[in-house]
Structure 1
Amino acid sequence: MKFNNVFVVDDDKVHHFIIKKLLEKNNIQVNATFFENGDEALKDLKSKLLKGENPPDLILLDINMPVLDGWQFLEEFNLLKEDFPEEITICLVSSSEDYFNTDMIELFKNSIANYYVKPMTNDMVKSIFLE
């Protein structure tokens, strides 16, 4: 799958830095936009819808964030996703595997393509962007 526009939604600036470096290292050319919480990303998505701009084709979504966490983001996103012309792939990213062993995964299984435990590695980035 080839992604062009990527949203990284995570309150951890170190994670932002790691993703940027891994993309560079693997020569992966994407338009990446970074957000520190789900609310910021949701506002940007709604703005793109209103303006008719291209939404991201991939969202790397942290679960544990302030303001609007990953689960709350998914609830809101599911209300909007029918309005987007193309499907948006969502990969959950979390510092703890515990978040993936909950009923929430089952609840949002139709929205989540995959999930990864931080820190992101070279292999993870390759599996997302190059396979």
Structure 2
Amino acid sequence: MKFKYVFVVDDDKIHHFIIKKLLESSNIDVEQVFFENGFDAINDLKGKVTTGEMLPDLILLDINMPVLDGWQFLEEFIELKDKISHDVVIHIISSSDNKIDIEKAESYKDIIGSYFVKPMTSDSIKSIFS
């Protein structure tokens, strides 16, 4: 699948920078929007659904964030999913390699593509975009 529009939902600005650099160095040309918590991201998504604006086809989602964490984001996304006309691929990108988080991600396998442990590398970015 060729992605055109990506939401990066992560409270770590260094991670935002790393993702930008990895996309650049891998010659991956996508529109990117960065959010520092799940609350801002889900509200932006809801707004776009309501107004009919272009929606992301890929979401790179952190788990541990303030305001609304990744799990809460996923619950809200599930409620919104029926109103979204195209597939949105969600990959978890987390600093947690905790077995509990990885198993919890399995329970969302209908909407989560893969679970990546930070730091992201050019190989992990290429595996998402190829």
**TM-score, L = length of structure 2:** 0.95
Three-state SS of the structure 1 residue aligned to 2:73 is helix
| Letter of the 2:22 counterpart | L
Q: In the TM superposition, what are the counterparts of 1:44-123 in structure 2 within 5 Å?
A: 44-98=44-98, 100-102=101-103, 104-123=104-123
**TM-score, L = length of structure 1:** 0.95
Q: Identity percentage over the alignment? A: 60
Q: Are 2:91 and 2:113, in contact at CA under 8 Å, matched by a contact in 1?
A: yes
Q: For residue 25 of structure 2, what is the aligned residue in structure 1?
A: 25
Q: State how far apart, in whole Å, the 2-side matches of 1:127 and 1:68 are.
A: 27
Once the two structures are superposed, residues 70-96 of structure 1 have per-residue CA deviations (whole angstroms, 9 ceiling, x without a partner) of 000000000001100101000001002
Point out 4+ residue stretches in structure 1 off by more than 6 angstroms.
none
The total of aligned residue pairs comes to: 129
Q: State how far apart, in whole Å, the 1-side matches of 2:89 and 2:111 are.
A: 8
Q: State how far apart, in whole Å, the 1-side matches of 2:41 and 2:106 are.
A: 23
Q: State how far apart, in whole Å, the 2-side matches of 1:83 and 1:107 are.
A: 22
Q: State how far apart, in whole Å, the 1-side matches of 2:108 and 2:27 are.
A: 32
Three-state SS of the structure 2 residue aligned to 1:97 is coil
Q: State how far apart, in whole Å, the 2-side matches of 1:6 and 1:127 are.
A: 15
Unaligned segments of structure 2, at least 5 residues: none
